[in-house]
Amino acid sequence: MEHRGSTRREFLAITGASTLVLSLHGLGFPGGDAEAAEKIVYDWDYGSWEELHREEWTWDSVTYGTHLVDCYPGGCSFRVYSKDGVVWREEQAAGYEVVDPSAPDWNPRGCQKGCAYSHMMYNPDRLLYPMKRIGERGGGKWKRISWDEAADLFADGLLDAIEKEGPESIIFEPGPGNGGYLHLVGLFGLMDRIGATNIDLNATIGDFFKGLYETFGKFKFMDSCDAWYHAKVIYIWHQNPVYTRIPAYHFLSEARYAGAEIVLIAPDYSPSAIHCDEFVPVAPATDAALALSMAQVLIEENLIDVPFVKEQTDFPFLVRTDTERFLRGSDVEDGSPEDQFFLFDPARGNLVEAPRETLKLPVDPALDGTYTVQLHDGTAVEVRPSFAIFRDLLDRDYTPEKASAICDVHPDTIRRLARKAGSANGHVMIANGMNGPKNYHGDLIERAQCLLVALTGSLGKKGSGVGGWSSAGFSLEALLPDLAGRKRMEEEIRAEDPTMTDEMVLREIEYRRGRMGLGPVPPMFLYYFHSGYKDAWDRQAWHDPAMKRPFGEYMREAIDKGWWQGRVRPAPDQEPKAYVYFATNPARKNRGWWKNVHESLWQKYEFICGIDLRMSTTCLMSDLLLPAAGFYEKLDVRFPTPHVPWVTLTEKAVQPPGEAMAEWGMAELLTARIVERAKERGLTKYTARSGMEYDLEAGGGLPAGLGEETMLDLLLGANAAAGVLPEGTNVEQLRKAGKVRFTRIPTEANIDAANLATEIRPDEPIVPLTLHTGDKKIPYPTYNRRIQFYIDHPWFIEAGEAHPVHKDSPKMGGDYPLQMCHGHQRWSIHSIWVTDTNLLRTHQGRPFVFMNPEDAAPRGIEDGDLVRIFNDFDDFKIHVKLAPGPRPNGRLGRGQVIIYHGWEPYQFENWKSYDSAIPGMIKWNDMAGGYGHLEHYTDNWCNEPVDRPIAVEVEKA
């Protein structure tokens, strides 16, 4: 089948040919079936390629565009140039206004992936038509079908599942790879409407910063990138910004020009090292020991900000030495609340209740000492401020000399790093990326990092803090179908506890919705009860030795105690039947997908549907494929983040190729068809296991029939009316400017925005947490309403993790000498660009592993060799790139091999990628609950299968 259109400048320049085969289905990837191929041929009427070159700087249209992908922070504004229905090129728009005249400006923003998107959108693996599998699943044979037929198959696949096992047996897995904002909401609305089990995205990609969350009661607080310029000491720690923060990296180097010192702390001489003042090679996953030791030096040498520590943290709170639990109101007075904590006033020699409604201190509390208090039952117990206990712990276990033996950093270096932090006057910034959350003891690493910024008062100031990730911005209210229900809930919560802050109330609403079975769930229960992950998680030897009981017992306890009420979906005896994934590539991303998922869970699904731009490995293993419109083929905005505090528009520059469709329209079509088919079956009303009743005819989910432009206008208008965006903001205006800066953070309306706890000033960077650290003194949303460094949950006490400590990473995969580590690669965002021919030409164009020559030589491995990497879990093959950057094992021990991720499994032999050797463990403590903020809601407190470091051996293949 041929479609006539035009062609692109790059193709002409290279080949001078007169036609361009734009895309072939079933070809260009393994298992392709030539007979099922569908061609789109673009040609033109210019007469010759020379003539077209003469016209190559003329366009039919110039529009704004961005890339609707989680290339955090992303949202770069581009100009998109189109001619004859094809996007020819894009360039950075460079139209960002000056915000802070004392700091460098933002222009231009972009990276090489963004600049290559117009090439990628015409890549041969682009999906163009709805297709259904013919023959065996994974056999590579496809048949093009109409959207009508596809909608029927989709509706029947889901309705069959509902009939057989209930709506929770439909698993919906969204991803960070596409969709934008509005379109994502469209598909979410559809899945909510039918009662599917919506998998928490953050739990599948491993970007939940659990240590930050444990400490601050949240992790979505983030400055704008221009704030980095004001830092005095920057520790790049678990981040590789030269690869992963390309559009914003300049703020780091400009900070250095302005006098900041930049220290890279990493096991390898990473690509970011060359731009730093100092490189500190730390042994993999021992960062907590290093940070704790720096904390020990800060305290010992009186380099800490004592008033900040007393006011903002729980360090002055009294802890009973007999039970290791906080002294509580219920201990001291019958009927007093369990979550009332105490300070000791040394001036008067008595206990003082820690205020719950403010951080403002009533007295100057003790950080030291041991005191005796009388309990309401007449007994006397000994109590100490948490700080005193912690200092003893640091002095005992984490002096620089002792920590050095763990983290392999010289004691003098540890002291020097600590003194740098102590002399930065509260402007210490830890630039951390998404590496911490992917470690088994990532929470301990992050809690120890948090210590450094809290002890030095480096929070709430320009150029300070420890970052996570944030999608804060828009008020979602305009799109919430049950706004009235939320308001009712809010009133109830405020009546129950008037001391709750707005932030706590908004989060409590999320908790209660979760307990009712609403909202996404972490996939932990799906994986444990229905997939092969159970076998890995039940292997005691791959867990921390402090896990005293079998993993399954902790899981049972967590469920029985109701800590996950409403989130155990599907139920253990409810077989998953249908699987829909969107903008994600689970066969690449799920840890150990072949063993953990394909052999078990994948076989249980009777219907698997992928919604994607391109033929990924997961698509190749599916039953039905729905082609989505690309980033320049639909109207939307990139999900906003405070890192880049503009709403950035992307426009429909051209029609999607073939019959690809924008997801909003797709959601409307599929919703209508589901309702129609359900009526035919008499299945419009049904009840979920949770007791939730669904009525497909009653509507809900998403506003239907409005179209994406009207919806976007409504969303922008609602935010403009609320003062979140400038007055009068609408789609038409955005079409002229491409972006618009936020004017207010809707902390009252949106939990993500509330987590920022700050206000926007017109000519200042965004600095989070100022509502806590500034004059307002609003409490943190932790269990004890302070920055919480002591967690007296029984599981944490049992594990010896009530205070932050270091623990060696368990040998996940077995007893092997090398540690396999990962990071985001430079040439693709996830796997979206990983097959782009231009980008593949910039490196080896095939998967490769970095290995130190010192480790390669004794194994007889040379540069370019194919090697087998294996452990007790599984193996895979990959080519070697020798480089001195990875930490060598032979000389130092705890050496690494490094694979930057994103490769398609089909680029490996037998489609077995590096993920094959990752068992995907989760830490048992991540299942804890019944303790204030340790409860799940979207993106938060979601345990995640970890992927580093993994114990492996390497041999020549």
Between 179 and 514, name the residue whose CB sits nearer to ligand SF4: 179
What residue is closest to ligand SF4 based on CB?
114
Give the separation between CA 110 and CA 348, rounded to whole angstroms.
60
Between 514 and 630, name the residue whose CB sits nearer to ligand SF4: 630
Between 76 and 421, name the residue whose CB sits nearer to ligand SF4: 76
SS3 609: strand
Least distance from ligand SF4 to the Cβ atom of residue 247, Å: 5
Query: How many other CB atoms are there within 10 angstroms of residue 66's CB atom?
Result: 31
- 156 neighbors 564 (Cβ within 8 angstroms): no
- 725 neighbors 647 (Cβ within 8 angstroms): yes
Q: How far is CA 641 from the centre of its chain?
A: 13
Between 293 and 584, name the residue whose CB sits nearer to ligand SF4: 584
DSSP 625-642: EEEBP-TTSS-EEPPPBT
Give the DSSP H/E element, type plus range, for residue 881. Answer: strand 875-882
Give the separation between CA 912 and CA 588, rounded to whole angstroms.
9
Least distance from ligand SF4 to the Cβ atom of residue 73, Å: 8
Alpha helices in 539-593 (DSSP H): 551-560, 586-589
Least distance from ligand SF4 to the Cβ atom of residue 65, Å: 9
- 929 neighbors 563 (Cβ within 8 angstroms): yes
Read off φ and ψ for residue 948, nearest 5 degrees. -160, 155
Least distance from ligand SF4 to the Cβ atom of residue 847, Å: 21
Query: How many other CB atoms are there within 10 angstroms of residue 190's CB atom?
Result: 24
Least distance from ligand SF4 to the Cβ atom of residue 431, Å: 16
Give the separation between CA 712 and CA 123, rounded to whole angstroms.
29
Least distance from ligand SF4 to the Cβ atom of residue 132, Å: 32
Separation in Å, CA 440 to CA 270, 541, 839: 22, 13, 33
Give the separation between CA 150 and CA 136, rounded to whole angstroms.
18
Take residue 591 and report the two structure tokens written for it. 């840890």
Between 112 and 730, name the residue whose CB sits nearer to ligand SF4: 112
Between 111 and 255, name the residue whose CB sits nearer to ligand SF4: 111
Please choose, from the candidates 320, 194, 50, the residue with its C-alpha nearest in 3D space to the C-alpha of residue 672: 194
Least distance from ligand SF4 to the Cβ atom of residue 111, Å: 3
Instruction: Tally the C-alpha atoms within 13 A of residue 737's C-alpha that lie toward its C-beta.
Output: 15
Least distance from ligand SF4 to the Cβ atom of residue 839, Å: 11
DSSP label at 126?
A: B
- 581 neighbors 173 (Cβ within 8 angstroms): yes
Least distance from ligand SF4 to the Cβ atom of residue 133, Å: 31
Give the separation between CA 414 and CA 484, rounded to whole angstroms.
54
Least distance from ligand SF4 to the Cβ atom of residue 95, Å: 14
Q: What is the largest CA-CA distance in the chain?
A: 99
Between 836 and 904, name the residue whose CB sits nearer to ligand SF4: 836
- 621 neighbors 636 (Cβ within 8 angstroms): no
Between 247 and 945, name the residue whose CB sits nearer to ligand SF4: 247
Separation in Å, CA 67 to CA 126, 176, 382: 16, 11, 58
Please choose, from the candidates 582, 287, 267, 644, the residue with its C-alpha nearest in 3D space to the C-alpha of residue 437: 287
- 763 neighbors 344 (Cβ within 8 angstroms): no
Between 74 and 465, name the residue whose CB sits nearer to ligand SF4: 74
Least distance from ligand SF4 to the Cβ atom of residue 177, Å: 11
Separation in Å, CA 618 to CA 554, 823, 846, 916: 32, 21, 19, 14
* Single-letter amino acid code for the residue at 137: R
Between 79 and 513, name the residue whose CB sits nearer to ligand SF4: 79
Give the separation between CA 784 and CA 933, rounded to whole angstroms.
9
Read off φ and ψ for residue 81, nearest 5 degrees. -110, 125
Least distance from ligand SF4 to the Cβ atom of residue 826, Å: 11
Between 200 and 223, name the residue whose CB sits nearer to ligand SF4: 223
Sign of CA dihedral 861, 862, 865, 870: positive
Between 111 and 720, name the residue whose CB sits nearer to ligand SF4: 111
Between 826 and 936, name the residue whose CB sits nearer to ligand SF4: 826
Least distance from ligand SF4 to the Cβ atom of residue 831, Å: 13
Q: How far is CA 706 from the centre of its chain?
A: 31
Give the DSSP H/E element, type plus range, for residue 23. Answer: strand 20-24
Between 25 and 245, name the residue whose CB sits nearer to ligand SF4: 245
Residue appearing with tokens 């609408």: 730
- Classify residue 934 as exposed, middle or buried by CB count within 10 Å of its CB (0-12, 13-18, 19+): buried
Least distance from ligand SF4 to the Cβ atom of residue 430, Å: 22
Between 113 and 677, name the residue whose CB sits nearer to ligand SF4: 113
Least distance from ligand SF4 to the Cβ atom of residue 246, Å: 6
Give the separation between CA 770 and CA 750, rounded to whole angstroms.
17
Least distance from ligand SF4 to the Cβ atom of residue 72, Å: 8
Least distance from ligand SF4 to the Cβ atom of residue 869, Å: 30
Query: How many other CB atoms are there within 10 angstroms of residue 686's CB atom?
Result: 18
Between 67 and 598, name the residue whose CB sits nearer to ligand SF4: 67
Binding site for ligand SF4 (CB under 6 A): 66-67, 71, 74-76, 110-111, 113-114, 247, 829
Least distance from ligand SF4 to the Cβ atom of residue 691, Å: 43
Please choose, from the candidates 525, 523, 532, 528, the residue with its C-alpha nearest in 3D space to the C-alpha of residue 600: 532
Between 116 and 291, name the residue whose CB sits nearer to ligand SF4: 116
- 674 neighbors 696 (Cβ within 8 angstroms): yes
Take residue 833 and report the two structure tokens written for it. 């660009």
- Classify residue 860 as exposed, middle or buried by CB count within 10 Å of its CB (0-12, 13-18, 19+): exposed
Between 71 and 696, name the residue whose CB sits nearer to ligand SF4: 71
